[in-house]
Amino acid sequence: MSAPKTIPKDAQVMIQILKDMGVTEYEPRVINQMLEFTYRYVTTIIEDAKIYATHAKKSNVDADDIKLAIQCRMDQSFTSPPPRDFLLEIARQKNQTPLPLIKPYTGPRLPPDRYCLTAPNYRLKSIQKKVAPSAGRISVPRLSVGAVSSRPTTPTLGTPSVQSVSTKVGAPVSLTGQRFTVQIPPPSQTATTKTKTDDSGQIYFFSIFTNNPLCLFLFVSTATPSTPAVPNVLINPSLIGSKNILITTNMVSQNAGGESLKRKHEDDDDYDAL
Amino acid sequence: MAAVQGGLVDAKDEIDIKTEPTADGFGNNNASDSRVLSTPPGSSAAAGNNKPAAGTPEEQQTLLAVLQFLKKNKLSESAEILRREAGLPEDALDPKGTDGTGAGPGAAAGSADTDAGDASSLLSRVTVSSSAGAQAPTKAAGEDQPDVSVVLSAYSQQGDPALYEVYYSGLKRFIESVLDCHRAELSQVFYPLFVHMYLELVYNNHESEAKAFFEKFSGDQECYYEEDLRILSSLTKKEHMRGNETLLDFRTSKFVLRISRDSYQLLKRHLQERQNNQIWNIIQEHLYIDIFDGMPRSKSQIDAMSGSLAGEARREANKAKVYYGLLKEPEIELPLDDEDEEAENEEGKPKKKKPKKDSIGNKSKKQDPNAPAQTRIPLPELKDSDKLDKIMYLKEATKKIRLGSDNLPSICFYTFLNAYQGLTAVDFTDDSSLIAGGFADSTVRVWSVTPKKLRKVKTAADLNLIDKESDDVLERIMDEKTASESKVLYGHSGPVYGISFSPDRNYLLSSSEDATIRLWSLQTFTCLVGYKGHNYPVWDTQFSPHGYYFISGGHDRVARLWATDHYQPLRIFAGHLADVTCTRFHPNSNYVVTGSSDRTIRLWDVLTGNCVRIFTGHKGPIHALAFSPNGKFLASGATDGRVLLWDIGHGLMVSELKGHTDTVYSLRFSRDGEILASGSMDNTVRLWDAMKAFDDLETDDFTAATGHIHLQDNSQELLLGTYMSKSTPVVHLHFTRRNLLLAAGAYNP
Contacts with B378 from chain A: Cβ below 8 Å: 99-102
Q: How is domain A9-96 classified at the CATH fold level?
A: Histone, subunit A (1.10.20)
In this predicted complex, what is the ipTM? 0.70
pLDDT tens, residue by residue, A48-79: 999 999 999 999 999 999 999 998 998 888 88
Which of A21, A84, A118 has its CA nearest to residue B556? A84
Closest CA in chain B for residue A247: B460
**Last residue of one domain, picked from the residues B297, B319, B339:** B297
**Interface contact A204, partner B, CB < 8 A:** no
Mean pLDDT highest for which of A236-240, B44-48, B389-393, B636-640?
A: B636-640
Residue B95 belongs to some domain of the structure: no
Contact B623, B665 (CB under 8 A): yes
Tell me the shortest Cα–Cα distance from A177 to chain B, in angstroms: 11
Q: What is the pLDDT of residue B219?
A: 82
Write down the pLDDT at residue B285: 82
Question: Is pLDDT of B49 > 70?
Answer: no
CB contact under 8 A, A152 and B381: no
Tell me if B454 is assigned to some domain: yes
Identify whether B50 is part of a domain.
no
Going edge to edge, which strands form the sheet with B611-616? B580-585, B591-596, B600-605, B611-616
Question: B334 in a domain, yes or no?
Answer: no
B459 interfacial to chain A (CB closer than 8 Å):
yes
Q: Which domain holds residue B642?
A: 411-746
Interchain proximity B230–A81, CB inside 8 Å: no
Cα dihedral across residues B350, B352, B358, B364: positive or negative: positive
Count, residues in chain A: 274
In a domain, B229, yes or no: yes
Distance between start and end Cα atoms, chain B? 52
| Collapsed DSSP state (helix, strand, coil) of residue B377 | coil
Closest residue to B464, CB basis, from A84, A174, A247: A247
The top-scoring range by mean pLDDT among A30-34, B222-226, B378-382 is: A30-34
CA distance B158 to B143: 22
Say yes or no: A213 contacts chain B, CB-CB below 8 A.
yes
User: How many domains, in total, are found in chain B?
Assistant: 2
CA–CA gap between residue B102 and residue B155 (Å, rounded): 10
Q: Which residues contact B149 (CB under 8 A, 6 or more apart)?
A: B65, B97, B98, B99, B100, B101, B103, B108, B123, B135
What CATH number has the domain bearing residue B690? 2.130.10.10
Say whether A84 and B243 touch across the interface (CB within 8 A).
no
Pick from B499, B540, B534, B496: which is nearest to B515 by CA? B534
- Kindly state whether residue B233 falls inside one of the protein's structural domains: yes
CB contact under 8 A, A108 and B506: yes
pLDDT tier, B564 (very low <50, low <70, confident <90, very high otherwise): very high
pLDDT (tens digit, 9 = 90+) per residue, B600-612?
999 999 999 999 9
Q: Identify all chain B residues contacting A115, using CB atoms and an 8 Å cutoff.
A: 529, 567
Pick from B245, B380, B572: CB nearest A90: B572
In chain B, residues with a C-beta closer than 8 Å to the C-beta of A100 are: 378, 563, 566, 570
Last residue of a domain, one of B297, B332, B363: B297
Whether A180 has a pLDDT exceeding 80, the answer reads: no
* Structural domain ending residue among the three candidates B266, B282, B297: B297
Q: Which residue did the predictor score with more confidence, B346 or B544?
A: B544
Say whether B608 and A111 touch across the interface (CB within 8 A).
no
- In this complex, the residue of A84, A118, A237 whose CB is nearest that of residue B457 is A237
What is the per-residue pLDDT for B103? Answer: 36
Cβ–Cβ contact A236 with B under 8 A = yes
Q: Do A245 and B506 make contact, defined as CB atoms within 8 angstroms?
A: no
Task: Give residues 467 to 496 of B whose Cβ lies within 8 Å of A.
Answer: 477, 490-493
* Inter-chain residue contact B529 with A115, CB threshold 8 Å: yes
CATH number of the domain to which B183 belongs: 1.25.40.500
| Amino acid B44: pLDDT | 39
Q: Is residue B426 part of a domain?
A: yes
Q: Chain B 356-385, CB below 8 Å of chain A: which residues?
A: 377-381, 383
Measured in angstroms, the CA of A123 and the nearest CA of chain B are apart by 17
Q: Are B663 and B680 in contact (CB under 8 A)?
A: yes
Determine, yes or no, domain membership for B207.
Answer: yes
Segment B332-369, tens digit of pLDDT: 665 554 443 444 444 434 433 333 333 333 334 467 78
